[in-house]
Amino acid sequence: MISYFSDYIDSHKQKGELVVQPRMGFSRYKLMKQGLRATQRANAVTVGTLTLDSYTRVGDYEAATLALQNNQDINGYPIVSYGAEKTQRLLHGLQSASFPVQVRHGTALPLRVFQEMVDSNIDATEGGPVSYCLPYSQLPLKDAMQGWEAAVSHLASSQNILAHIESFAGCMLGQLCPPSLLIALNILECLFFKELGIQSVSLSYAQGTNLIQDYSALRVLRHLADKYLSDMRWHVVVYSYMGVFPNTFDGANKLIQNSASLASMTGCERLIVKTKVESQRIPLISENVEALALAYAASKQRLDLSFDNDEYLVILKEAENLIQAVLSENVDLSEAMLEAFKKGILDVPYCLHKDNKGLAKTIIDKKGYLKWANVGEMPLSLERNQKQAVTANAFLEMLSYVKQHYDEGV
Amino acid sequence: MKVVVSSISSDSHTWNLIYMQLLMEEFGFDVVNLGSCVSYDELIKQCHHVKPDLLLVSTVNGHGFIEGENIAEKLKNYPMLRRMKSVIGGKLSTKGAADNEAIDKLYAAGFDGVFMGEQSIPLFKAFLIKHQLIMKETA
């Protein structure tokens, strides 16, 4: 049974080495192969990525196939259109115990994709019923939940791979979400995977607006993973900042380096990098390779960060309140999550999906921490004077907060 | 005053929609936000359901000129929506600079306001005052 991904993470963890990974997807077969090879050969400890195109993500396999037939480049690897035989050939000589490959996508209904994945002997993917529905899909959450139940069961029952799923809940909209909610959603999605028979998972965390807050948040995430997922293989993957990226190369590189140091000093096992051209365009293979090497080198450096124990306790309490409130809604976890979103017990700030309550709001406080400006119906308490309206201008400033900080070297 | 905020069918960006919602709420509007990737059918359906004073299309993926024209043409078919004002703004083309011919086409198709570039928000505010959608005093 192929378990390249899980085993590779374990073995490098033992050696104290951060595994770094790009986002990368090309529809042109030769280019995808070239990208995988370049990632394998990078001056870093890496895993490879097959990022799927957006037609495949929305289930429009015909459009992806048509694009291939017409020799048109699309924005990712169309795994369903190519089929297992072609994908196996792509990975031949590349994917192995010393170079695992993960399928990355954004598919709200992933059964077809997962079927191809299994048939191609790929053991790792990502997503979740909530994290791949609320941010980018118009699909009702109920349909996503059912779709993921079927798709995850298919992965869990496969005989040739020991499936690994990474929850995308540490990202959600990519920015402006206080860590406690991201942590709670991670735990809930991993419990969902566990219930359907998955034995190996990862929890994600997107770098926020302040490294000290991120430090506390990652400690909470690992503590709760240990508590709720102790009988599973799990690890944590950090995502380099997902919001508006610094324009300057210096600023961009510093941000990437900080994310790598943050990951390694908190004992996290893997990092998905961004590149210095993030603010302009999709990176070339060479730019991705450069970012991987930069991040890996930075992972050997510790950041001079103080540990905010008060913030740790605040995040821990909030996350636990959210998890427990959801679990007590219903014995069936899917029903519990659906009910929780319906009532607003879970409420993702700035998420416009119809099944998200939409009362929750975030602000960046004086310390640069992401904090609740409004908790809506969530079982969380605000400090006196914490509740506030978010103006349109304040919102714009928040979107550029990190970029400005790193571009101006402030 | 009621406003329907919407993106176009091919655009999955949402941060511009949230900004516009916050801005319109500051102007005193009740906002119904349709979100991203809104089909033409859904847009028409919601306009009939909500009966807003204003339809605000905000899009940043560069397809606004193309899809905006389609939206305006379709809206013309519905007499019930004739009272509703409509505006469109954002990053409407894949090129950087404003395309005056394309802007004219959007006005010709039926939009009451087209806003792009750095001055778009102050100009949009002036539009709202001119059409008495907000009071001068509150602006």
Tens-level pLDDT at each residue, chain A (410 residues): 999 999 999 999 999 999 999 999 999 999 999 999 999 999 999 999 999 999 999 999 999 999 999 999 999 999 999 999 999 999 999 999 999 999 999 999 999 999 999 999 999 999 999 999 999 888 999 999 999 999 999 999 999 999 999 999 999 999 999 999 999 999 999 999 999 999 999 999 999 999 999 999 999 999 999 999 999 999 999 999 999 999 999 999 999 999 999 999 999 999 999 999 999 988 999 999 999 999 999 999 999 999 999 999 999 999 999 999 999 999 999 999 999 999 999 999 999 999 999 999 999 999 999 999 999 999 999 887 788 999 999 999 999 999 999 999 75
| Partner-chain contact B19 A392, CB within 8 Å | yes
pLDDT in the model for residue A409: 79
pLDDT value for A383: 83
Strand partners, A370: A364
User: What's the pLDDT score for residue A384?
Assistant: 78
DSSP A325-358: HHHTT-SSHHHHHHHHHHHTSS--TT---TTS--
pLDDT score at A2: 96
Measured distance CA(A88)–CA(A195) in Å, rounded:
30
- The residues on A that touch B, with CB distances below 8 Å, are 136, 138, 173, 350-354, 390-392, 395-396, 399
Question: Would you say residue B137 has pLDDT above 70?
Answer: no
Q: What is the per-residue pLDDT for B94? A: 78
Q: How far is B21 from chain A (nearest CA, A)?
A: 8
The structure tokens 């289930």 sit at: A59
Closest to A373 (Cα-Cα) out of A352, A356, A395 = A395
Q: Chain A contact for B32, CB < 8 A?
A: no
Please tell me the predicted confidence (pLDDT) of residue B104: 93
CB contacts under 8 A, B 67-96 vs A, are none
Is the separation of the CB atoms in A295 and A44 below 8 Å? Answer: yes
Contact A173 B19 (CB under 8 A): no
Q: pLDDT value at position B12?
A: 86
SS3 category, A231: coil
Q: Does B37 touch chain A (CB under 8 A)?
A: yes
Burial A124-136 (b: 16+ CB within 10 A, else e): bbbbbbbbbbbbb
Provide the pLDDT for residue B49. Answer: 96
Structure confidence by residue, pLDDT tens digits, B86-105: 999 999 987 766 788 889 99
Q: Does B26 touch chain A (CB under 8 A)?
A: yes
Instruction: Check residue B79 and give its pLDDT.
Output: 92
**CA–CA gap between residue A71 and residue A30 (Å, rounded):** 13
- Contact at 8 Å (CB) between B40 and B82? no
